[in-house]
Amino acid sequence: MNLYIYQNHMPIPTVPDTFMDRAAPAFCLPDAQKETICLEQFRNKWVVLYFYPRDNTPGCTLKAMQFNAALQTFAELGAQVIGVSTDSPESHQKFAAKRALDILLLSDAEHTVLTAYDSWKPKTLFGKEFFGTQRDTFLIDPSGIIVAVWRRVSVKGHAEEVKKVLLEKQKGSGK
């Protein structure tokens, strides 16, 4: 069992995230073209599943562009990168067109997948409490098991960190 999670690009000895070494919660969500995409479609592939608050905001744009720039490398490593937010498929279409993104973006308007992955969290802004998306990333192995978790992600360099851990996990599992 893995005894650490990743936070701000560093493995931190801690009580393991409750999602580590568990089957990834199944889901089906619409993509930017309103096609239904299910996690099960990527069985036998590595999956980088990341949650982000909103299209076209500075941090979320940077994160999407970093993953998009590394998309070919992830594909060569047998990994599918999937970004999920509460934005509509139409918003994802505009975001992808504006930023020339090829990344797979899924819409979770009802927060069901965000909740299933414990990434729909209470937040406070200017003294007001509300629920919103926490920037989290999950690395899922080809058999559907979560093998790495990043909570409250710091955007800068995150795609490279995920790639590094993916390579480590592939070497360790022989996959």
**Is 121 within 8 Å of 65 (Cβ atoms)?**
no
The reply to whether 60 belongs to the active site is: yes
CA–CA distance from 175 to each of 52, 77, 167, 172 (Å)?
28, 10, 10, 8
Distance between CA atoms of residues 148 and 92, nearest Å = 26
In the set 60, 84, 147, 149, the catalytic residue is 60
Alpha helices for 21-84 (secondary structure H)? 58-69, 71-76
**Mind telling me the catalytic residues?**
60
